[in-house]
Structure 1
Amino acid sequence: MTTRRTFLKGAAASGIAFCSCGLLDAAHAQPKAQRLPVMVNGKRVKTIDVHSHCLFHEALDLLGPDKDKPLPPTKGQQEHFIGVEQRLKAMDAMAIDMEILSINPFWYGGDRDLAGQIVKVQNEKLAELCAAHPDRFGAFASLSLQFPDLAAQQLETAIKKQGLRGAAIGGSVLGEDFSDPKFHPVWAKAEELGAVLFVHPQSTPELGKRFKGNGWLSNTIGNPLDTTIALQHLIFEGTLDRFPGLKIIAAHGGGYLGSYAPRSDHACFVSPQNCNADIKLKKKPTEYLNQLYFDALVFTPEALRHLVAQVGASQVVLGTDHPIPWEEHPVDHVFATATLSDKQKAAILGGNAARLFGMKVA
């Protein structure tokens, strides 16, 4: 039987950092929310949130008059700029030992010089923060993906010199899909370095007109759709066959792919004229899901059960979107999924991420 976490207060460090993303699934929280340390079957588990965000004033200042545009119009907006002590208290309240921070790309439309400056500042700041609090923070590097040659250089610097864990990327670069050969040098570099790529969508701008109206559909539908399209192109265009060693995490449970993946296996049989006969995939489209990773930000135990059934418990990692209030009790969400074994719960809470990032966990 799963042992409940003890109710201990985590120690908070001091210092200043600027961060962003996730909190709101209290509906599925236990009567008393879990606190650190997290215990599963009597064993301590290090909980690792791969989906949390940061922003840095120094990087936004480079935008001049447009420096406020990257701020999300949501609850948690100002928490993108918070002190480390406050961030650690919030993590403790959610029973999160470590956050892997990322910054949603707002620089893809910039020229080479501006994008390069923004990325340089962000990666340096992320590296400083992680070095100061190595037990609590890791980070995904930012990349100037609109300039693939520069992005490959930035990734190498981030991994080899700055100690970052990989890189955060959008769902596309201004509508250009990652399966485009122009991006191959970046994926080749990521595969060579063993760098983890975190795909975080930026809505689906092409559908902006239809997203208008009530319900914040640009996010509610647009974000998971953007991720779904990105992953499907990587599969169907043969990119994952070309770079089989790529380590990819998809935000928000991977969008809609995990919910309706089997349709992909029938598409080219039903309509071969809409498929490229020159692209011969090495396995069924759904089988590629078992080499990708997905965060557990899917809100309900049933949704998490289904995701695990589709991709395997070994491919699911914890994600919150902190400090934006999507999931306040991410650990309780995993514990509440009764279909998971204790081994699977421990893996999703932190074991899978630790293995993926090559972390040593006691």
Structure 2
Amino acid sequence: MKIIGLEEHFVTGEVIDAWLRLDPHWRDLALRPATQGEPARLLADLGASRFEAMDETGIDTQVLSLTTPGLQNLAPADAVALQSAVNDELAEAVRAHPDRYQGFAALATPQPDAAAEELVRAVTRLGLNGAMVFGRTRERHLDDPVFSPILEAAQELRAPLYLHPQSPPPEVRAAYYRTADELTTAALSTFGIGWHYDTGVQLLRLIIGGVFDRYPELQVVVGHWGEVVLFYLERIAKIPGLARLDRPLLDYFRTNLYLTPSGMFSRRYLGWAADIVGTDRLLFATDYPFEFAPAGGARAFLEQADLTATDREQFASGTWERLCAGIRRAPLADRTG
């Protein structure tokens, strides 16, 4: 059984330098693990250490992506300057190890037109399989019309966008997650719950804002079994604004969204997700190096999953390979010239 992980991160020194130059207000809490300790070492390595970890847990291929918050907190000029460099480095790693690596492009969303052009280049010229995006670009949400060029390009290319968590804004962290202990505050704001509430809200904004009505073929991948909202669909469906949408709420989950576990290897969550969206909407991910399961953990979870043999293989890699086979690799003349 071939296993492909979709949420597997890396970072470059140039990106870290750009993050460190930011005003503290725009620095994401992920800066610490990206620059300190074992996670920082693993993020920076695209060689032997990563291959060893993949083999140990049972992952055959990683879909590499720039770790949170990507380029989205940067000034537009800095983000644009870095996106091509990051994607060129990523594509080089994929070319060097095509059986072990694939890639999600990093996009300079502070400059949406340039980001859309880069998405086209990344997919049609570099061979990357869509892009990793985050819900906010500084104070703007992804459903803001200013980001339409990116969403339009993704739909035209049939290239999936992976909607990944980022730290809640400083004002939200101060109001809801601050405790007497700095480390506890950071944990509560991020992997404890803050990341997931924040990303769940961003996902709902895309739906309620009519993004999938305007771009009905757009495909978005969401981690952590749907970022909380999957477990509250009956309540969410009562939001008045949903009545103005073209389709019932659940239909968007079953036609425009894919879900991954992001290393949360829970049989209970797997059963719930499969029941709500269907097994054909499940993709695999380990969230390397943050929630990476050693000692055969990834392969064991899949082998022991309460799925048919066919569904298990589709979850492990088949559905992702089918999604990638539908990506349009020919250049789009109106965007690339």
The TM tier, using the shorter chain, reads 0.7 to 0.9
Whichever of the two has the greater Rg, that structure is 1
Q: What is the CA-CA distance between 1:203 and the residue it aligns to? A: 2.5
> Hey, what does 2:317 align to over in structure 1?
350
Q: Secondary structure, in 3 states, of the residue corresponding to 2:53?
A: helix
Q: Residues 217-241 of structure 1, C-alpha deviation per residue, up to 9 Å, x if partnerless?
A: 1111111112211111111111101
C-alpha distance in structure 2 between counterparts of 1:61 and 1:203, whole Å = 19
> Deviation of residue 62 (structure 1)?
4.9
**Residue identity matched to 1:257:** V
* 8 A Cα contact 1:178 1:230, kept in partner: yes
Match of 1:341 in 2: 308
8 Å Cα contact 1:59-1:121 kept in structure 2: no
Correspondence for 1:92: 55
- In structure 1, C-alpha distance between the alignment counterparts of 2:21 and 2:239, rounded to whole Å: 47
Q: Indicate the residue corresponding to 2:265 in structure 1.
A: 299
Counterpart of 1:76 in 2: which secondary structure? helix
1:207 aligned onto 2:169: no
Q: Secondary structure at the match of 2:62?
A: strand
Which is worse superposed, 326-335 or 85-94?
Answer: 326-335
Q: How far apart, in 2, do the equivalents of 1:173 and 1:82 lie?
A: 27
Matched residue SS, 1:77: helix
Instruction: Within 5 Å, give how 1:145-294 maps onto structure 2.
Output: 145-205=109-169, 206-209=171-174, 210-213=176-179, 214=184, 216-219=187-190, 220-268=192-240, 275=241, 280-291=244-255, 292-294=257-259
Instruction: Tell me the TM-score normalized by structure 1.
Output: 0.79
> Distance between the aligned counterparts of 1:133 and 1:226, measured in 2?
34
Q: Identify which of 63, 82, 88 aligns with 1:124.
A: 88
- Tell me whether 201-210 or 47-56 shows the greater mean CA deviation: 201-210
| One-letter amino acid of the counterpart of residue 299, structure 1 | F
Alignment of 1:23-38 (within 5 A): none
**Could you list the runs of 5+ residues in structure 2 that have no partner in the other structure?**
327-337
RMSD of aligned alpha carbons: 2.3
Q: Secondary structure at the match of 2:114?
A: helix
Distance 1:276 1:46, change over 3 A: closer
Q: How many residues align?
A: 307
1:308 corresponds in structure 2 to: 274
Secondary structure of the residue aligned to 2:272 is: helix
Task: Tell me: CA distance 1:74–1:267, structure 2 relative to 1, closer, same or farther (3 Å).
Answer: farther
* Structure with more of its chain in helix, by fraction: 2
> 1:105-147 CA distances to partner (integer Å, 9 max, x unpaired)?
3432322221112212111100100011111100111111111
State the shift of 1:326 in Å: 4.7
Work out the CA distance in 1 between the residues paired with 2:261 and 2:242.
33
**Aligned counterpart in structure 2 of residue 324 of structure 1, from 290, 300, 304:** 290
The corresponding residue for 1:140 is 104
Instruction: Name the counterpart of 1:17.
Output: none
Name the structure 1 match of 2:334.
none
Structure 1 unmatched ranges of 5 or more: 1-44, 269-274
CA contact under 8 A between 2:242 and 2:249: conserved in structure 1?
Answer: no
> 1:102 touches 1:168 (CA, 8 Å); kept in 2?
yes
Moved more, 67-76 or 105-114: 67-76
Structure 1 276/336 Cα, relative in aligned 2: closer, same or farther at 3 Å? closer
2:104 alignment partner, SS class: strand
Partner of 1:14: none
Q: CA deviation at 1:202?
A: 0.3
Higher mean alpha-carbon deviation, 294-303 vs 137-146, is at 294-303
Distance 1:46 1:128, change over 3 A: same
Cα distance change, pair 204–326 in 1 and its aligned pair in 2 (3 A): farther
Partner of 1:24: none
